[in-house]
Amino acid sequence: MCAMLDLSALTDPIPLARRLIQAPSVTPADAGALDVLSEALEALGFVCTRFRFEEVDNLYARLGKAAPVFCFAGHTDVVPPGDEAAWSRGPFEAEIADDVLWGRGASDMKGAIAAMVAAVARHLQASGEPAGSIAFLITGDEEGPAINGTKKLLKAVTDKGERFDHCLVGEPTNPHHLGDTIKVGRRGSLNGVVTVTGQQGHVAYPEKAENPIPVLIDFLNRITAHTLDEGAPHFQPSNLEVTTIDVGNAPHNVIPAKATAKFNIRFNTAHTGDGLKQWLREQAIAAEQGFFGDFDLDLTVTGDAFLTETGPFTDLLRAAVKEQTGHDPALTTGGGTSDARFIKDYCPVAEFGLVGETMHQVDERVPVSDVTRLAAIYADVLQRYFKTFA
């Protein structure tokens, strides 16, 4: 099999994209996806090292020993297909029909990983060994808890002396057309669970009970009525959303003992996770004044907001996208979180990949022409990168 993966064969991303999709790597299973990728990278001369953290497999690969180090980052794990009977074509068959590649992971983001490999093959074919190094940082835990993936992988490889100068993540950043959007930052995310515990009792004798519901309502009113900000440069306003309120009290004549709620804050660079935690604790203290039960606030920041400043790196990314697509991409920060939130602590990072209209949906798919054009964009990025920074 390795003999078939010569340099010229790997300049076409579609065969590799199909092989990756055919590996049913639903988080946290790898199902052979990283074996397929390692085989292709080793055929290009990369040194591949696997890192396993608990049930998650991860891959680090590097070609070259000199600086600067340009890193491609992404994930081979995918979300479950859902009802497979609802798919027009099998979610792991990687069928091509009417010049469209179908399958789970086609857009998010096995198609982009295949384009990265094809881009390296094209760069080596056109220019020989890079004037620096190219690395791949690939996890199997992006769609899962993101505990045993990129975060631990970064620490492991940097503890061994690896360093990165810039990183490009292949998330499907484009909303409608290839070339729409480059992500140069992400909002932060904070999850909150509030549990108020009082004293159950009869509604006719409230003095013998301690109702947790008014305290919970007071707290939620305080945090939802507050305007977090009006936005920040390159960022939309932060938003707080209550996602569930649970009491589970069926009778009309019983004051419940406990009430809980969950909420999420997506925040921009006007805030830090620690700052929002402090504000929420202050609102909790105000809401529980005069309450004789327990008020528990469980807060978890899954990532702080960050922004990669515009400059030579973002300029060359925009130039490559415009050259290959004719579109001048917007530099944005919208959407959810990604593993870029971990990478930004090690080097400047941006994100650009395929169109994400069908990601995580039944019948996930992407035009074959988009995958091949993405490979051309990534190859253009490599050419410009080493001319700019080497």
Our answer to whether residue 77 is catalytic in this structure is yes
For residues 352-368, one letter each, b for 16 or more C-beta atoms within 10 angstroms of the residue's C-beta and e for the rest, the string is bbbbbebbbbebbbbbb
Q: Closest Cα partner for 295 from 175, 166, 196?
A: 196
Q: Closest Cα partner for 139 from 106, 162, 114, 109?
A: 109
Beta bridge partners of 59: 50, 138
CA separation for the pair 319, 169 (Å, rounded): 17
What is the number of alpha carbons within 13 Å of residue 59 lying toward its C-beta? 28
Question: Which of 77, 141, 180, 380 does the annotation list as catalytic?
Answer: 77
User: Strand, coil or helix: what is 91?
Assistant: coil
Q: Amino acid letter at 204?
A: A
- Count other Cβ atoms within 10 Å, centred on residue 289: 8
Burial class of 197 by CB neighbour count within 10 A (0 to 12, 13 to 18, 19+): middle
- Count other Cβ atoms within 10 Å, centred on residue 264: 15
DSSP class per residue in 141-182: -TTTTSSSSHHHHHHHHHHTT---SEEEE----BSSSTTSEE
Question: Which of 57, 108, 141, 142 does the annotation list as catalytic?
Answer: 142
Check if the beta carbon of residue 132 is closer than 8 Å to that of residue 70: yes
Our answer to whether residue 351 is catalytic in this structure is no
Q: Residue 157 is encoded by which pair of tokens?
A: 């490889």
Helix 33-43 vs helix 111-127: angle between axes, to the nearest 10 degrees? 10
Let me know how long the chain is.
390
CA distances to 97, 103, 231, 265, 371 from 367, in Å: 10, 12, 35, 35, 7
Annotated catalytic sites, by residue? Answer: 77, 142
